[in-house]
Amino acid sequence: MTFQAPKGVKEYVPPQASTFSAIRGAFAETARRAGYSYLETAVFEDTQLFARGVGESTDVVSKEMYTFTDRGGRSLTLRPEFTAGVLRAVLEYGLHRGQLPVKVWTDGPVFRAEAPQEGRYRQFYQLDLEAIGSEDPAVDAETIALAWSWYTSLGLTQVRLLLNSLGCAECRPVYRARLQEFLRGLDLDEATRARIEINPLRVLDDRRPEVRKQLEDAPLIGDHLCPGCDAYHDRVKQLLADLGIPWEDQPRLVRGLDYYTRTTFEFDHPLLGAQSGIGGGGRYDGLSEAIGGPRLPGIGFGLGLDRTVIALEREGVSLDVPARCEVYGVALGDEAARAMFKLLSELRAAGVAADMAFGGKGLKGAMKGADRSGARFALILGERDLAAGAVQVKDLATAEQSEVPLGQVVDVLKEKVQ
């Protein structure tokens, strides 16, 4: 084999791909029931969308983006996250001129040039949900509740919800100045010192042990919230409590992107080790103005599909996925194969998952294929059966076999596989 997938690219093949598809489908249903519409966005965007929206001081923009110049000399970037691109699309197509909030979700691959390890890839997959155009704590609580509902619907029991508030334009400057004063007195490298002047909250997100130890006595933004932000955060927590959703106050939770304000949250799974964050998000009330739009508050999240798959495996959760094959056709002879081909088409049209042995295999080889397919029933059709206008239906679990008229087999099998 000459070619392999690039390093750090996560791919899914059967049977694991069935789990991947099932968890995505469960999310689609969760979002639909809450009034969210699907949105498909560009995989690459103008580089400045992320520089202005995500923040030039972030690791995402400064170190991790896949940026290239196209043939027209334009600087483009493979999306490193969804929110900026989703908001761009909402503004470009005027969705914000209709009913607010605009409630949309999307999914797909995201790209960051990081050091690959389990749970951290250069091409990874996210589910993204956004509610744009409303500054209401109930929207924040709904957003969090939808993610929580999805995790629990999958059967995960060890997910933790971490919650914080990052304040607003009124109270953040006071805290920013206090935090900068504290950080300037620490023993930090030049790059981190530069970050103190651009966005000091990003220093709180530093994962290096030598930095985290120095941050133990850093001032907390929760102690500096204005009355409005304090009341807003309390309301979000009250609404979550009404739904029976447990949360843990995480006063140092800041997330990794510059656009977050007020409600900030993360979903954590303790069985994933160093990469325990499996999803998160928050409010971004100034992002629209940052990318040239009108004032348009919003909140959303990104949930990691890859890490959710790992979490399911660590908890030993197996999802019920639709059968790849319920009925497997075994045809003996050319005329029987022709009739079986038509019969399988009729079964599929009736909603029955059906496959057959191809290549003129004999009975023994074809029945091995039936066993490997995972089908519940095998249809065996030979020239003699064809002349009699019947087909043999074999239960592959019990080995019981019965003869069914060809004209009735679709109805019989529909009833059997229900």
Q: Residues annotated in the binding site for L-histidine, as ranges? A: 81-83, 112, 126, 130, 255, 259-260
Q: Does residue 18 sit in helix, strand or coil?
A: helix
Pair type for strands 354-356 and 327-332: parallel
Q: Which among 324, 323, 328, 326 has a CA at the least distance from the CA of 381?
A: 328
* Nearest 10 degrees: Cα torsion 23, 28, 33, 38: 160
How far apart, in whole angstroms, are the C-alpha atoms of residue 385 and residue 402?
Answer: 12
**Alpha helices, DSSP H, located in 105-226:** 137-153, 172-183, 190-198, 209-214
Task: For residue 63, give the DSSP letter.
Answer: I
The amino acid present at 211, given as its one-letter code, is: V
- Distance of alpha carbon 57 from the chain centroid: 26
Q: Does residue 248 sit in helix, strand or coil?
A: strand
How far apart, in whole angstroms, are the C-alpha atoms of residue 393 and residue 411?
Answer: 13
What kind and span of H or E run contains 53? helix 47-53
What residue numbers does the annotated binding site cover?
81-83, 112, 126, 130, 255, 259-260
* Termini Cα distance of the chain: 42
How far apart, in whole angstroms, are the C-alpha atoms of residue 180 and residue 406?
Answer: 80
CB proximity list for 52: less than 8 A, separation 6 or greater: 290, 291
Q: Which among 322, 323, 324, 326 has a CA at the least distance from the CA of 378?
A: 326
Query: How many other CB atoms are there within 10 angstroms of residue 163's CB atom?
Result: 22
Task: For residue 60, give the DSSP letter.
Answer: I
Which pair of structure tokens corresponds to residue 345? 């088409």
Q: Outline where DSSP puts E strands in 174-312.
A: 248-249, 261-268, 277-283, 298-304
User: Bridge-partner residues for 67, per DSSP?
Assistant: 77
Q: Computed from CA positions of residues 401, 407, 410, 411, in that sequence, does the dihedral angle turn out positive or negative?
A: negative
Total residue length of the chain: 418
